[in-house]
Amino acid sequence: MKAAVARVLQAVYLDGVARELLRGARRLARDARNRVSSPDSAIVASYFAAHPVPKLHLGCGPHFLDGWLNADQSAASANVLRFDVTQRFPLDDAAFDYVYSEHLIEHVPRAQGSFMLSECHRVLRPGGKVRISTPDLAFLLDLCRPDKSALQLDYVAWSLREWVQDAPHGSDALVINNFMRNWGHQFIYDEWTLRSHLERAGFAAIARCELGQSSDEALRGLQNEGRMPPGFLRLETMTLEATKPA
């Protein structure tokens, strides 16, 4: 009887050891996924060595900002830091004075967008600022107005011509539905929702800004307005700035 009990206890012990080993292996694999690869480590080290006021540009695409650490999930240049904003940023806590993203957060589901903002907060130094530009839900709703401005009418005509070529007739609904689903859009924010997510991430002093304008010189003129016909990016975009409390 004692021998049988001993065998059972040994089996349980070994099974527990095996489980711990498996957990350890999984932790190592997860850490390896989150760790910056060697070429990216060199990009980060080189950037910090040359820039006493570190600034992080998320989702840069081909729009590279001078003086910023440009980052994107798909690198369009050998100097772009590669990572996914829905995962922990491969960057140290309190490392940056500024974080900026333009038309990025709408491309990830809302929960991941909230996580992205919490990561922006983590990598910012106390007193650091984040600037988020994203399509405004109010702009889409306004396209249903019967008294559209000339710019709104031009936008609707351009959208149908460029993106809904099979439309049988002009329709605001076609433009709005295409916008909600095209280009990988996952969630279009209104101002209240984006403010709430920034507050939940720990930010304060949240302010809405005009495109290209800011009370902080470092955050002015960053937008890639040339990627659309004149006035269209301004029509689409809502920009909020917020500060990590000191």
How far apart are the C-alpha atoms of 224 and 212, rounded to whole Å? 9
CA–chain centroid gap for 59, Å, is: 7
pTM of the full structure: 0.83
The pLDDT value given to residue 77: 79
Give all strands (DSSP E) within 136-236, no chain letters.
Answer: 204-209
Nearest alpha-carbon partner for 203 in 193, 212, 195, 211: 195
- Separation in Å, CA 241 to CA 19, 21, 55, 100, 132: 46, 45, 14, 9, 6
CA dihedral 67, 68, 69, 72 (to 10 degrees): -130
Angle at 85 between CA 216 and CA 163, to 5 degrees: 90
Helix or strand or coil: residue 8? helix
Residue owning tokens 């940056």: 96
CA–chain centroid gap for 202, Å, is: 16
The pLDDT value given to residue 165: 77
pLDDT, one tens digit for every residue, the chain (246 residues): 555 545 543 544 445 554 554 565 565 445 444 444 457 899 999 999 999 999 999 999 999 999 999 999 987 778 899 999 999 999 999 999 999 999 999 999 999 999 999 999 999 999 999 999 999 999 999 999 999 999 999 999 999 999 887 766 668 999 999 999 999 999 999 999 999 999 999 999 999 999 999 999 999 999 999 999 999 999 999 999 999 999
The pLDDT value given to residue 114: 98
The pLDDT value given to residue 25: 52
The pLDDT value given to residue 168: 65
The pLDDT value given to residue 166: 78
